[in-house]
Chain A
Amino acid sequence: MDKRKLLLIFIGLCGGMASGLLGIGGGIIFVPLLISIAKFDQKDAHATSVGAIVPAVIVGAAIYGLNKFGNLGESIYLGIGGIIGAQIGARLMYKIPNKQLKKGFGVILAIVAIRMIISWI
């Protein structure tokens, strides 16, 4: 097996572990690794990342489900809303200046993170 394939498998392993541990897709790990280590350009990294997320979340959802950490009905409603929202969001992306928005959103995420930590304490 050549070196590049091993590298891709390694990137998959990292993103997959984050996906299972955190309940996320893993794109937030895949995309930067694909760009920095595997020399993908931004667009290809995004597209390829989505393809790799599919098998990761299928396996993750199945294992969570077997351990009774899941609710298929609720996931379906989230999924339906998510698919519709993604269409809107992708179109909005081209209309709204991104930089300020991204900073603003980062602030909201930080507040959410702190609230999550406080709710534990």
Chain B
Amino acid sequence: MSILTFLVIGLFTGIISGMMGVGGGLIMIPAMVLFMSIPQSMAQGISLAAIVPISLMGAWVHFKKGGLKKDAIWIGLGAVVGASITSSIIPYMPISTLKIIFSLVLLYFALRMILK
């Protein structure tokens, strides 16, 4: 049952992110938190690991098509440093704070989609 739920959430996330150009995490995480009662920090960790194969697949397609520029190396370098810093502070952040930050970011991007 649970396997099926995760597959369906993944499938739905993939369709939406493929169509809308919105990142998968913004859809997967609320789905896990609201429908499956998974704590925010756990949902974020599960989301990150799920994005690994999804983004690898996407990167490979773009690499073959030539859209992926070598600049990605420098961006990736900065991203690794940035992600290391914020991932490391997660255990010290209250789940309620994480949830509020996440919700506000989500609300911001939702409004941007509506108004643009």
- A-B interface contact total, Cβ < 8 Å: 374
Chain B: minimal CB distance from A59 (Å): 5
Near A by CB (< 8 A), chain B positions 77-110 give 77-91, 96, 99-107, 109-110
A101 to B101, CA, bound (A): 26
Contact B90 A67 (CB under 8 A): yes
Contact A113 B63 (CB under 8 A): no
Chain A residue nearest to B96 in the complex (CB): A120
**Interface extent on A, as a size class?**
35 or more
Which of A50, A67, A71, A82 interacts with B10 by CB under 8 Å? A82
Interface residues of A (CB under 8 A from B): 5, 8-28, 30-31, 34, 38, 40, 43-44, 46-61, 63-65, 67, 69-72, 74-93, 96, 101-103, 105-110, 112-117, 119-120
Contact A64 B79 (CB under 8 A): no
**Interface extent on B, as a size class?**
35 or more
A116 to B90, CA, bound (A): 19
Chain B: minimal CB distance from A101 (Å): 7
A80 to B46, CA, bound (A): 13
Further 11 A-B residue pairs, CB within 8 A, beyond A8-B71, A113-B104? A15-B75, A17-B85, A28-B109, A51-B69, A79-B49, A79-B51, A86-B17, A89-B16, A93-B19, A101-B20, A120-B96
Contact A17 B68 (CB under 8 A): no
